[in-house]
Structure 1
């Protein structure tokens, strides 16, 4: 004999079976493709940008295509070509560095006019609003130079060389300009493209600057690979005990040199976060109409002898710190 409780349970189960199951709302990020346009992966810095972008793609369930200019090509023209190609392929968004505004800005505006969400990453703070980009993700480049100059001055540097390996890039010019605000004398060396891609030529250019001015007691490079060449140049002119070298950006060699006291410090802009946030901001804008109202800062952070070992320990995480 069925009890009232049994009948109530049967009735509830029957009602449940007849009620339509709740369906999850559609994923607003479904079908989104983000083209990330940045530098060649031969540079560990851009390897970290790519890793961050791919992690964001996995977390947000979107597609990311990483595009880089050919190292042998004319960089500004190559970046314009890649932007144009991404738009033609009907990507949802583009996250890119605005390294050569005079060449790139017209093409970026055309992408925005075509309905593509654009986020400027790593380079482009002065122009992100002018070109209609959703946001800028990166660091304050002037502040990078100021901070480096302050730290070098504290170490006793009075007369420095700033090594600019990307002529025509406002980012590099801003870093050297910032350095001048804290040091009494700064000479900027601008490497031609042929020199910047030739380690021997780069080392010779730095050695020549040191030989030309025996009072130089500091060298500031604007990329991790150039720091290692600068240290060799200092050794070649027999001034390792008198010239302090510092740099922007990280690599395994740079971190080991900072840890061992051979390199004064490195200024980190956390490129992994630039790649991650660049994709994340684009997806949030497309999916929900959300956007930052100010630049998204990922640096600068100073890595010196006090914290280099802890940063170096993250090498085994796949280059998240740009430190392969």
Structure 2
């Protein structure tokens, strides 16, 4: 009788242990660590990467999306790219992050409109062991797998130094930065200010253009009224801002000004080639960033090593190299 009771007890313990093992949550896989023995990576065709961009309503972010889509096709994975209607829609982007995590992605990529707001939403992914990557603009959340992007400070400084060289000694500049509190805007402003300081250019003022063409037009109108006949250089957060500044200058009859944009959008480069007031744009490589961040996400899902920072190169596009740049853009479409 004792032997029968011992056998029953042993069998009950085995079944109990099996049930407990089946309910364990998978171990968190941050950085480039290999998956745990019980946490096999999904097969290529089953991998799903969610990408939440600042917006899809701009040329620049269209290039990032194109790079993401190309990587999806080359790697044989599913990539969903979403973004709000405007970069100012912080709440809308947070909702999209939450929706993508809830839908069950294997990794999530974000270009945050507000890093603080995005961090709160992305923490849920990190808590579940889902790799979190940032593109273009760093989130900086603890446990983040990788950031793929440009040093916005260094890139803006290059654009600022080019403008200072064109304007010559004694030049005065204004800076039209992006959304208030946006980290990318802050870094680009820092880079422009560093360039002006190094080149001996006086910065008359720095104001927000709200990240839109219309907003920048209004800001530039205010600056022209405040500093009539004094502005030689306009350093802008992005190409939409540069176009807004150009529109204001043309309406005011101002023609002797150097406007520098940022992003390398085709529309801006064509204006440069046509001899408009936009004389240069600091070109990132948005297509490459989109491709590289999806590539890095897939590596992270598969437990492969991923660099914490993947730098994307930049160049200052002017009338001299604009056509070659446009030809390269055309090859990506």
TM over 0.5, shorter chain = yes
Change (3 A) 1:191 1:307: closer
Residue of structure 1 equivalent to 2:282: 267
Q: Does 1:220 align with 2:235?
A: yes
Query: How do 1:1-324 residues align onto structure 2 when only pairs under 5 Å count?
Result: 28-71=43-86, 75-124=89-138, 127-128=139-140, 130-156=141-167, 158-183=171-196, 184-186=201-203, 187-192=205-210, 196-197=211-212, 199-214=213-228, 215-240=230-255, 242-262=256-276, 263-293=278-308, 295-317=309-331, 319=333
Contact map agreement 1:139 1:297 (CA 8 A) in 2: yes
In the alignment, the residues of structure 2 paired with residue 74 and residue 256 of structure 1 have an alpha-carbon distance, to the nearest angstrom, of 27
Task: Note the C-alpha offset of 1:171.
Answer: 0.8
Change (3 A) 1:45 1:200: closer
Contact map agreement 1:167 1:191 (CA 8 A) in 2: no
Deviations 1:160-212 (A, max 9, x none): 121123222011011111111121322211135xxx55x44531321220221
Contact map agreement 2:284 2:315 (CA 8 A) in 1: yes
Task: Note the C-alpha offset of 1:95.
Answer: 1.0
Change (3 A) 1:180 1:82: same
Contact map agreement 1:52 1:273 (CA 8 A) in 2: yes
In the alignment, the residues of structure 2 paired with residue 208 and residue 202 of structure 1 have an alpha-carbon distance, to the nearest angstrom, of 10
Change (3 A) 1:201 1:83: closer
Change (3 A) 1:202 1:146: closer
Contact map agreement 1:117 1:286 (CA 8 A) in 2: yes
In the alignment, the residues of structure 2 paired with residue 143 and residue 35 of structure 1 have an alpha-carbon distance, to the nearest angstrom, of 29
Contact map agreement 1:250 1:266 (CA 8 A) in 2: yes
Task: Note the C-alpha offset of 1:252.
Answer: 2.7
Task: Note the C-alpha offset of 1:318.
Answer: 5.2
* Structure 1 unmatched runs, 5+: 1-25, 320-324
> What secondary structure does 1:166 align onto?
coil
Task: Note the C-alpha offset of 1:39.
Answer: 2.8
Task: Note the C-alpha offset of 1:311.
Answer: 1.4
Q: CA RMSD in A?
A: 2.1
Deviations 1:266-315 (A, max 9, x none): 1111111111011000101112422114x111132211122101112245
Task: Note the C-alpha offset of 1:83.
Answer: 1.2
Change (3 A) 1:28 1:290: farther
Q: Tell me the TM-score normalised to structure 2 length.
A: 0.79
Contact map agreement 2:72 2:294 (CA 8 A) in 1: yes
Contact map agreement 2:176 2:216 (CA 8 A) in 1: no
In the alignment, the residues of structure 2 paired with residue 170 and residue 316 of structure 1 have an alpha-carbon distance, to the nearest angstrom, of 30
> What secondary structure does 1:258 align onto?
helix
In the alignment, the residues of structure 2 paired with residue 59 and residue 201 of structure 1 have an alpha-carbon distance, to the nearest angstrom, of 39
